Amino acid sequence: MLRIAIQSKGQMYQESLDLLDSVGFKLVIRDSNSLVIRSSNFPAEVLLVEKDRIPEFVAQGIVDVGICGEYLACQYGTPSECVIKRLGFNKSTLSLAIPRDAKYRGIEWFMGKSIATPYPELLARYLKSRGVKAVTRLMRDRVYMAPKVGIADAICDRVHSGTTLMSENLKEVETVMTSEAVLIAAPSMSPLTKMILDEFLQRIDSIQAAANKKFVRMNVPENKVDEILKILPSVHRPSLSHYQNDEYVSVSVVMDETRLWDIVERLKMLGTKEILICPIDKMIL
């Protein structure tokens, strides 16, 4: 049985459930107060915990793996070898922000200043690396309001779109780190659990490999095949099928969607017709 810890609420909770659903886990949530959810078709169970506890539970072996923000793994001091997969969602930056009307000429601005943050360890490491001595004030909620009410001169917090910063009349001036959801693993686990984890990772790999990819089938004039194959940005070697007594060849490829739209007109000018574009949910390489 693979034990997976995820955040118990918020956007990260929903995105983690979406990931588990996309890799084929059937999770039935019967009670909104449930602490543990089991998969009916995969040897795994999901623990819903406070986000700050996920790295701790993984480190202590209470769970085998956890899905958490990269910033939390760094805050807790999770070893780099225990961060086994970047998941590509819940992206943000951990930034230093100051009042919009303040004149900023560099990191020296923070010398002797007070900074409110929920992440004092990360901030302390960053300031030390830049040779800046400042006062760090732990503040878990409503951090963005700290300069307005006189609690601190600046803040250090996660930023997604930046709209909250603007509403509080703040501006980003330094990026402490960028973050996304990561999968972290316990330092040790049984061989059987490791086999289950490997299957889980393979399923995630298939989802990530298919991201922004399309399966494309087109009918290409036989005398233009070589020329068209040279401009196709295929992930793998294209597959060709010859029609009997026909001047066209069926070409099937997997390619990045954005690059496809760049060459559609060129394909049409070379006589390509009946271009079929299909989405790909998973791709096992």
With respect to residue 188, please indicate whether it lies within any of the assigned structural domains.
yes
Q: Is residue 26 part of a domain?
A: yes
What is the per-residue pLDDT for 245? 63
On whether both 195 and 121 belong to a single domain, the answer is no
107 is in which domain, residue-wise? 92-179
Number of domains comprising the chain: 3
pTM of the model: 0.82
Within a domain: 285: no
Q: In this model, does residue 236 exceed pLDDT 90? A: no
Q: Is 35 a member of any domain?
A: yes
Residue 123 has pLDDT above 70, yes or no: yes
Please tell me whether residues 108 and 152 are part of one structural domain.
Answer: yes
Domain boundary among 158, 179, 200: 179
> Residue 84's domain is classified under what CATH number?
3.40.190.10
Highest mean pLDDT among 26-30, 92-96, 267-271: 92-96
Please indicate, yes or no, whether residues 60 and 78 belong to a single structural domain of this protein.
Answer: yes
Residues 151, 45 share a domain = no
Which pLDDT score is estimated for 107? 95
In a domain? residue 45: yes
The CA distance from 83 to 2, in Å, is 17
Q: 209, 224, 251 — which closes off a domain?
A: 209
Within a domain: residue 284?
no
Among the residue ranges 90-104, 108-122, 125-139, 258-272, the one predicted with the least confidence is: 258-272
Radius of gyration of the CA atoms of the chain, in A: 25
Query: What CATH number did the domain enclosing 235 receive?
Result: 3.30.70.120
Assign 3-class secondary structure to 212-243: CEEEEEEEEEHHHHHHHHHHCCECCCCEEEEC
pLDDT band, residue 34 (cuts 50/70/90): confident
- Confidence category of residue 258, pLDDT binned at 50, 70, 90: confident
Q: Could you say which of 179, 199, 227 is where a domain stops?
A: 179
Rounded-to-integer distance, Cα 23 and Cα 206, Å? 9
Q: Which two tokens stand for residue 105?
A: 């000429």
Residues 62 and 171 in one domain: no
| 82 & 100 share domain | no
Express as a percent the part of the chain with pLDDT over 70. 97
Give me the pLDDT at residue 239, please.
Answer: 85
Same domain? 83 vs 189: yes
Same domain? 16 vs 149: no
Residue 62 lies in a domain: yes
- 106 part of a folded domain: yes
Q: Are residues 7 and 76 in the same domain?
A: yes
Q: Exposed, middle or buried: residue 79 (CB in 10 Å: 0-12, 13-18, 19+)?
A: exposed
Q: Once rounded to an integer, what is the mean pLDDT over residues 145-173? A: 91
161 and 220 in a single domain? The answer is no
Contact yes or no for 176/156 (Cβ under 8 A): yes
Structure confidence at residue 29 (pLDDT): 76
What b/e readout covers 4-32, taking b as 16+ CB neighbours within 10 angstroms? bbbbbeeebeebbbebbeebebebeeeee
Both 76 and 186 in one domain: the answer is yes
**What does DSSP say about strands 2-7 and 44-49: parallel, antiparallel, or unpaired?**
parallel
Averaged pLDDT of the chain = 91
- 228 plus 192 within the same structural domain: no
Structure confidence at residue 244 as a pLDDT band (50, 70, 90):
low
- Sorting pLDDT into bands at 50, 70 and 90, what band is 32? low
Count of other CB atoms within 10 angstroms of residue 178: 12
- Rounded mean pLDDT, 270-278: 89
Number of other CB atoms surrounding residue 251 within 10 Å = 22
The larger pLDDT score, comparing residue 243 to residue 153, is at 153
- pLDDT exceeds cutoff 90 at 110: yes
